[in-house]
Amino acid sequence: MKSLIIGGSAGLGRAIAERLAESGHEIFLVASDTSKLAATSREIARRFHVKTFYKAMDMAAPEPAVLHRLVMKRLGSIDNLFYIAGRAIGDAGTLDDAVVEQLLAINFVSGVRLINAFIDDIANRRGANLVGIGSVASARGRRRNSVYSAAKRGLETYFEAVRHRLAGRPCKVQFYRAGYLKTRMTAGQKFPFPALDPNEAAARIVDNLGKDLGAVYLPRWWWAITIVLRLLPWAVFKRLDI
């Protein structure tokens, strides 16, 4: 099996890459940090004795055609495509336009562009999977993360549309509404709910490959919290400092 992981140099992306490599998958990693990407690729190849490749790319301004040519040159084909890339910035006030553009690109636009470049390669491939990572933040728009949550909701809608388009074809489309994850980016931060270890999240995601799941919560108990948020009357919701 051959897997392309976009956003695979650290955190959840790296954890997924390691779990797949443990099962013998050839791995192609894409991220923006060249040194971290190269180190991750070498470490996975050394530990699991599989072929690994990588391409450093600005996730806010990717080159889908360039990446497609390189991946096909190195792997020949792909069985799994994971879009893990994301960036979160609190935006309780007005953001600089460049930051808004970056948030929209990394969390939504780049995902659509890159998946679009590869979708025909996996649509009719038996055992293929397209997996995306969203956020529970998109459950309801709120003042502290308006741009980020809007972008993640857009990505989820895109995955929903792709799943509909590929219904009846071999490729399975899955989308995870992820809660807080323990990563270097979130180290030291205090959350109102428990954060999930990336390795535990990766285990669930990889174990679910091949299943027709659509959109699911990660961890599962987040569904109850998001339902409460969505059902709160506006008179109550508008007073929440979230």
- Where do the structural domains in the chain lie, given as residue ranges? 2-237
Say what the pLDDT of residue 52 is. Answer: 97
Say what the pLDDT of residue 193 is. Answer: 81
> What is the H or E stretch that residue 222 is in?
helix 222-231
Superfamily of domain 2-237, CATH level 4: NAD(P)-binding Rossmann-like Domain (3.40.50.720)
Dist. CA 104–CA 111, nearest whole Å: 10
Q: E strands of the chain, at which residues? A: 2-6, 26-31, 52-56, 80-83, 129-135, 172-178, 214-218
Say what the pLDDT of residue 5 is. Answer: 98
Say what the pLDDT of residue 186 is. Answer: 58
Say what the pLDDT of residue 99 is. Answer: 94
Say what the pLDDT of residue 26 is. Answer: 98
**pLDDT values of the chain reduced to their tens digit, one per residue, 242 residues:** 999 999 999 999 999 999 999 999 999 999 999 999 999 999 999 999 999 999 999 999 999 999 999 999 999 999 999 999 999 887 767 899 999 999 999 999 999 999 999 999 999 999 999 999 999 999 998 888 899 999 999 999 999 999 999 999 999 999 999 998 887 655 556 677 888 899 999 999 999 999 999 899 999 999 999 999 999 999 999 998 88
* Beta strands across the sheet bearing 214-218: 52-56, 26-31, 2-6, 80-83, 129-135, 172-178, 214-218
pTM of the model: 0.94
Dist. CA 134–CA 5, nearest whole Å: 15
